[in-house]
Every structure is written in structure tokens, then in C-alpha cells.
Amino acid sequence: MGATESSSRKVAFAVDEEDRVQVLRGVKLSEQVLQRMRDPSPGTDVKPAPSDARGEDSGKPPTSTSQEYPSSAPSGSQPAEELKKRFEREQAIAREELANVARREREAAREELSMALLRERIQSRGEAERAQRLAKQLEKKERDLNVLDAFYKAQLAQLEKKGLGDFRTASRQFQEAAASMEARLQPRSTEPVCSSLQARVLHCYRENLGQTLRCSDVAKEYMQCINKVTKNMLVNHG
């Protein structure tokens, strides 16, 4: 990983129950983890082989002898081992970081679920309290209606009783008034008035058919007699 790369990497992951990394994809690692993964592991120094330099004799070609020491450079299998260790170390760091992220995600999910359950419980409790309140209001309304029904029945009974009493009183008073009126209006024995003049008028009309003027004097006497009797009756009965 070069130093010019971005300061963070996104890796997606899935963690099992034992916090073992299954898939890496889309999780943002911290800068500390990336720095650890970016720094190379210390390499093995390669030491140069020492050599002996001997002085040259005059007149003789210089000769040199060198003794090669075993090189301390890592063998071909050592870089692979180092890479493996480095990969395992980076994987352990990533696993730890991912496990922390997974733990935080689980805690956040549990907290969110707890809040949802709490809200649902509060809502359910509120609905139950509202139902109880409505039930109490309904019971109170039923009691009020029963009281009003009893009151109206009592008033109706009193009105019926009073009306029946008034009817009986009125009936009794009517019967008494009718009896009194019957006593007052009993038929009286009367005699015909001006009967002789009435007979003369009838006889005259029979004898003088078509000539009624001949009976005018008798008729006049009859009318005078009737008027006189009527006046006498009005004076006597007031």
C-alpha cells in the first residue's frame, strides 16, 4: 500500500457468532488500522562479506585473497514466511476492527429494537388506558340514561295519575250538572191556550175557502190572545 493512497479503505464484511471474518466488503476501517497495514515489517539486513587486503610486494604482481562469509540475506522461503505473518497480522487487526464494528452494530440494533419495543409497549399501554377510559365513560352514560329514564317514568306516572283524577273529577261534576239540569228541565203540565179562538179560525177557513179575508177578524183576535198569554208566561217565569 503506497503512501499516496487514500487515508481510508471501505471493506464489506460479515462476522459469525465467534467473531470470525467471513466476507470483507464495504466497512470503513480506522486510520490506525490502515497505518498498521501500510507500514512494512522490518526486513533482515544484508551484511557485506569482509575481505582481506594484503600489501603488494615490489616487483611481484599483486595478489589478493578473499574469504566469502555466508550471506545473512533471507532465503527464498523467508520472504514468503514474512508475507504470511504480515498477512496474518493484518487479518487479525482487521478481524478485531470488524468485530468491534459488528459489536457496535449489534448493540445499536439491540438498542433500536429495545426502543421500538418500548414505544410499542407505551402505545399499547396508551391504547389500553384509552379503552378503559372510554369504557368508564360509557358506564357513566348508561347510569345517567337509567336515571333519566326512571325520572321520566315517574313523571309520566304522576301525569297519568293526575289526569285520571282530573277526568274522574270532571266526570263527576258533569254528572252532577246533568242531574241538576234534568231536575230543572222536567216537563210541566200545560193546557192549550186560546183553544176556542183557534177552533173558530179553523172553522172559518174551512167555510170560506179561497176567501180568507172574511176570517181576518177572527184571526186577529186569536193572535191578540196568543200575545197576551205569552206575555203572562214571561212575567211569571222571569
Residue 219 belongs to domain spanning: 195-237
Instruction: Assess if residue 221 is contained within a domain.
Output: yes
| Statement: residue 203 has pLDDT above 80 | yes
Q: Which of 77, 82, 79, 98 is nearest to 33 (CA)?
A: 98
| Statement: residue 156 has pLDDT above 50 | yes
Instruction: Assess if residue 227 is contained within a domain.
Output: yes
pLDDT per residue as tens digits for the range 7-44: 444 445 554 455 444 444 455 556 666 666 656 544 44
Instruction: Assess if residue 123 is contained within a domain.
Output: no
What pTM was estimated for this model as a whole?
0.28
Instruction: Assess if residue 200 is contained within a domain.
Output: yes
Q: Report residue 230 as a C-alpha cell.
A: 205569552
Instruction: Assess if residue 33 is contained within a domain.
Output: no
> How many domains, in total, are found in the chain?
1
Non-local CB neighbours of 17 within 8 Å, separated by 6+ positions: none
Instruction: Assess if residue 202 is contained within a domain.
Output: yes
Instruction: Assess if residue 233 is contained within a domain.
Output: yes
